[in-house]
Structure 1
Amino acid sequence: MVGGLDSGKVLRVVGMAATMRLSDRGPDDAVNRRISLLVLNKQAEQAILHENAESQNEPVSALEKPEVAPQVSVPTMPSAEPR
């Protein structure tokens, strides 16, 4: 991960600027673009892991290596011929 944090230390990443706003100026407002770190003990970690086992969430490791989208050629405009 960027910054040197071991990916095994990250359990979940959630962005909530659009749903848990601190300001009504929109999700792109600087006050709404924040991160929170939650440090868990082993018991809380296991409870969350059990919760994740029953969901369709993607592990962080699956998100680190996105598939490469196929390249699409740009359509060309036909040349305008005088009439």
Structure 2
Amino acid sequence: GLDSGKVLRVVGMAATMRLSDRGPDDAVNRRISLLVLNKQAEQAILHENAESQNEPVSALEKPEVAPQVSVPTMPSAEPR
């Protein structure tokens, strides 16, 4: 087997990057690509992953409340 520390990312793309229009389950679309990275490329991907982490909802700032705006009213139409 492969040391788990050597695997940086696993992505399935049969549904989005098809080689054949016969569907994601077609054998030609069920494939893997192995990319061997140098340390610089590895660090760039790790940095990208760190920037894309979602913040927990509790950590998000509350939006500022918009000030109340008075809306002018139209005079009612009276029959003549």
- What's the TM-score bracket when you normalise by the shorter of the two chains? 0.5 to 0.7
Q: Does the residue aligned with 2:11 lie in a helix, a strand or coil?
A: coil
Q: Cα offset for 1:63?
A: 26
Per mean C-alpha deviation after superposition, the further-off stretch among 50-59 and 22-31 is 50-59
State the alpha-carbon separation in 1 of the partners of residues 8 and 49 from structure 2.
10
Q: Does the residue aligned with 1:52 lie in a helix, a strand or coil?
A: helix
Assess if the C-alpha contact under 8 Å between 1:21 and 1:32 holds in 2.
yes
1:80–1:22: structure 2 CA closer, same or farther, 3 Å change rule? Answer: farther
* Cross-structure match for 2:60: 63
The higher-RCO structure (CA 8 Å, 6+ apart) is 1
Q: Provide Cα deviations, 1:47-69, integer angstroms capped at 9, x if missing partner.
A: 00000111238999999999999
Ranges in structure 2 where 5+ consecutive residues have no aligned partner? none
> What is the count of residue pairs matched by the alignment?
80
Q: Provide Cα deviations, 1:20-58, integer angstroms capped at 9, x if missing partner.
A: 000000000000000000000000000000001112389
When the two structures are superposed, what TM-score results if normalisation uses the length of structure 1? Answer: 0.63
When the two structures are superposed, what TM-score results if normalisation uses the length of structure 2? Answer: 0.65
Q: Does the residue aligned with 1:39 lie in a helix, a strand or coil?
A: coil
Q: Which has the larger radius of gyration?
A: 2
Assess if the C-alpha contact under 8 Å between 1:7 and 1:61 holds in 2.
no
What is the aligned-residue RMSD (CA, Å)?
10.8
